[in-house]
């Protein structure tokens, strides 16, 4: 989440994320649509590698990479849903 926040700041995208004690989380982003698309592309490219390199005793590097890919996939599907209403 810190990596996403660092990448959002220069693009003028407002990124908020909360991870609760039970493991659930919430992410929101706000900004110009073109900047949001650039931000998501950067996350898609960088976040799995960052997650893999982050030390953790609970998960292996491959599990962390899969988790980051899953998060980026959900965010990109959410963002892509805005384009599906136009024919």
Is the four-CA dihedral 73, 10, 46, 35 of positive or negative sign?
positive
Q: Give the Cα separation of 50 and 56 in Å (integer).
A: 12
Q: CA-CA distances (angstroms) from residue 3 to 16, 35, 44, 46, 48?
A: 12, 17, 12, 9, 11
For the segment 6-28, the average pLDDT, to the nearest whole number, is: 90
User: Domain map of the chain by residue range?
Assistant: 2-80
pLDDT per residue over 40-69, tens digit each?
899 999 998 998 898 888 788 889 899 888
pLDDT band at 83 (very low <50, low <70, confident <90, very high): low
- Residue 72, number of CB atoms within 10 A of its CB: 20
Beta bridge partners of 26: 18
For the segment 12-26, the average pLDDT, to the nearest whole number, is: 89
């Amino acid at each position: 989440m810190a990596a996403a926040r660092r990448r959002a700041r220069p693009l003028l995208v407002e990124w908020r994320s909360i991870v609760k004690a039970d493991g659930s989380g919430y992410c929101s982003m706000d900004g110009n649509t073109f900047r949001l698309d650039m931000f998501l592309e950067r996350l898609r490219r960088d976040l799995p590698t960052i997650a893999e390199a982050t030390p953790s005793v609970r998960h292996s590097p491959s599990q962390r990479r899969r988790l980051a890919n899953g998060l980026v996939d959900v965010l990109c599907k959410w963002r892509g849903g805005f384009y599906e209403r136009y024919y």
